[in-house]
Every structure is written in structure tokens, then in C-alpha cells.
Amino acid sequence: MRKIPFVSALLITALCLSGGVRAIAETAVSAESAIVISGDTGEVIFEKNADARMLVASTTKIMTALVVLENSSPDEAVIISPESVVIEGSSMYLKPGESYTVAELLYGMMLVSGNDAAHALALHVGGSVEGFAELMNAKAEALGLRNTSFRNPHGLDAEGHYSSARDLAVIMREAMRHELFRRVTNTRSITIKEIAYYNHNRLLGMCEGVNGGKTGYTMAAGRSLVSSCERGGTSFIVVTLNDPEDWRDHGTLYDWAYGAYEYKTLVSLWEYRRQEVISGLQSDVGIAPGRVLAALLPRGAEAELRIELPGFAFAGIRAGERAGPIIASFEGRELGRVPLCYMEDVPVGDGIRLSFREHIGRGLALAGRYGLYNYGFYPF
């Protein structure tokens, strides 16, 4: 498999070694704005001017596809209107009066960046371009995007139509949750109504692991590119805006990301332990994590694990109840927490006499266990 020449790889490596794993100098990437995030968690591992409001050209169509997928079915029929076929720019060459499915138009929009397909889908789902733009902006608001505003479904330059590298990465990550979007954006070619369409995303097949994305270009916006990549079960998303070297930069950034980071299991289900029990029919109880915790870390780095658990528990325990959390952190930043859960019932032993202090302690423990009181061992 031929790979794109990664001429900035050595520069990036040197900068990482000299300035920390996140410190890629802006000069290593030719984009005006760029970002790399984990496709699994959304964590940002590199950014350059990532919140700048930019013209984004046809990368707009990622949001168009997302809104269409959430508001229609793939097999719905769409009758092409005369207004759709006269939209300027790239086209899948629709004809008025013809019928296409939503899925077919998604292929035409994402592979060859058909502005006519985007317009037809907008009319079908939103009733008008303005109505569809309202749906796009509502979705942007729901995703918490702060630097995005859409005026049309295709990305042709318009007043008040913009996004940012960070926001596009969030949109791409959300779109990749949809199986049909993943299939469409990873398709290299398809024939619809006897016309062959070939994906404009040159990274497919050229850069190891790339499994989707969207190109974009207008003279005002420059070259825009959003892509997704998966290697060894770990995924990243790269966005570059106004980047004359976008193919190279995406390949460089992916090679750097996979070389510098790894997904590590921090807490597994096998981390079983036992805790002393007071006033029970047995002297101890099994405790194990309620779920697995994994996180993206610099290669060779180790997370700090802290267990918040009292030295003993009072009887009256039921299997599945929370005993306390395991908290994982790295360089002072919390990566996540996993509840430790009791593995078995431990009833109170008959005839066991408790001191006044033990009665109080048992009451506080039970209250904390059921969320009625937090006495320091249950930080949820």
C-alpha cells in the first residue's frame, strides 16, 4: 500500500522530544487551523488555531449527512426538484423529476461532493434550505459547538456560514457513530443509475487506516479536509482548514499520533480484592471493578490509580452495591473513575453485639452506601 510522503515526521518527532508529547510547533503543519482528536474519547492531542471561525467549504456536508441520517430513513424516495439541479459547483448530475433514495444521494454528496445532492436532501428533510439550516444549527447547539453557524447544506461561501477545526472534529466523531455514514464515507466508488462515482478523498488507500472523511474547496476557503483513521483498534480524527498541503499533513499527523500515543487498559475486571467486614456472618467480602477503564496515554506513560475505600465495611451488604471508586489520573488530570462493587451478600450476624460507636459507624456506612450521606469514603 503506497503511503503519502511524510516530510514533516522528523520535525514533529524532534519537537515532541524537546517540548513534550503535545507540543507540535505550528510550523510543522501548513494549515491555518488544525486539530487531532481521539475518535474514541474526543480528547484533543494536538491543536493549532482550532477555535478560529473559518470558511469550511464542502466539509459542511458532514453535518448535512448527520442531520439527514437523524431525520430520515435511507430508503426514502426523493424527487429531484428543478432548483436542486442548478446549484453551482460540484455535482452528481441529477435531473429534475428523477427519483433517488436518501442513501443514493448521501453517496453522491459525500463521494463527489454533489451540491445538487446536498440541496435535494435539504429540501427533502427541511422543506427548504432555510429550514434545513435551522436543523443544522440546532444540532450544532445540541453538540455544544461554539464556533459554528450554517446557512446552507453544501458549504458554498455565504455570509454567516462558518465553523472551526474543533467543531468539525466533533461533528465528524458524531457522524461516525452512524453505520451508514461510516459505510458511505469509506466507499471508494459506486455506480448509481449507471453513473460511476469516485470518492474525492485521496487518503483512502493512500494513508494506512484512513476509513472516511470529506474534502472541501472554494477559492475563499482554500483546501479543507476532515478525515478519520483507525489502526490497531485506536481511532483518530484530523481536521485541517485552509491547508495547501492537506494530504501530507493528515498523513504526518496520523503517523505522529499513532507513534506518540497508545490506548491502555487502566482498570480491568480481574482486579479482585477482599475487604474486612464487621458484624457479619463472614469476616470479609469480595470487591471488584464494575467495568473496564481504558484511556489514551503517551506511549510508555503510566496513569496514577487511587482507591477511595475504607479499611473495613459493616455487614448488611448486598451484591452489586458500590464500595468506593478507583480513580485514574495522569499529570493531575482525571482520566476516569470506576466503581468498586461488592461481589456477594453479607448479612448481619445474629447475636453480635456492637458498641455505640460501631452502631453509629454502621449507620453512616449504610447511609453512604445508599446515597443518603457522604462521610468521605463515597465521593460520588
Q: Which residues are catalytic?
A: 58, 61, 113
Question: Cell 452506601, residue?
Answer: 369
Instruction: Report the distance separating Cα 165 and Cα 34, nearest Å.
Output: 6
The contacts of residue 190 (CB under 8 Å, 6+ apart) are 107, 111, 196, 197
Q: Strand 273-278 relative to strand 312-314: parallel, antiparallel, unpaired?
A: parallel
- Specify the DSSP element, H or E, that contains 184: helix 179-185
Instruction: Report the distance separating Cα 54 and Cα 19, nearest Å.
Output: 28
Specify whether the CB–CB gap between 147 and 99 falls below 8 A: no
Q: How many CA atoms lie within 13 A of 65 on its CB side?
A: 35
Q: Strand 195-198 relative to strand 189-192: parallel, antiparallel, unpaired?
A: antiparallel
Instruction: Report the distance separating Cα 229 and Cα 252, nearest Å.
Output: 12
Joined together, the cell numbers standing for residue 265 give: 487498559
The contacts of residue 333 (CB under 8 Å, 6+ apart) are none
Instruction: Report the distance separating Cα 245 and Cα 248, nearest Å.
Output: 6
Instruction: Report the distance separating Cα 132 and Cα 122, nearest Å.
Output: 5
Joined together, the cell numbers standing for residue 63 give: 453535518
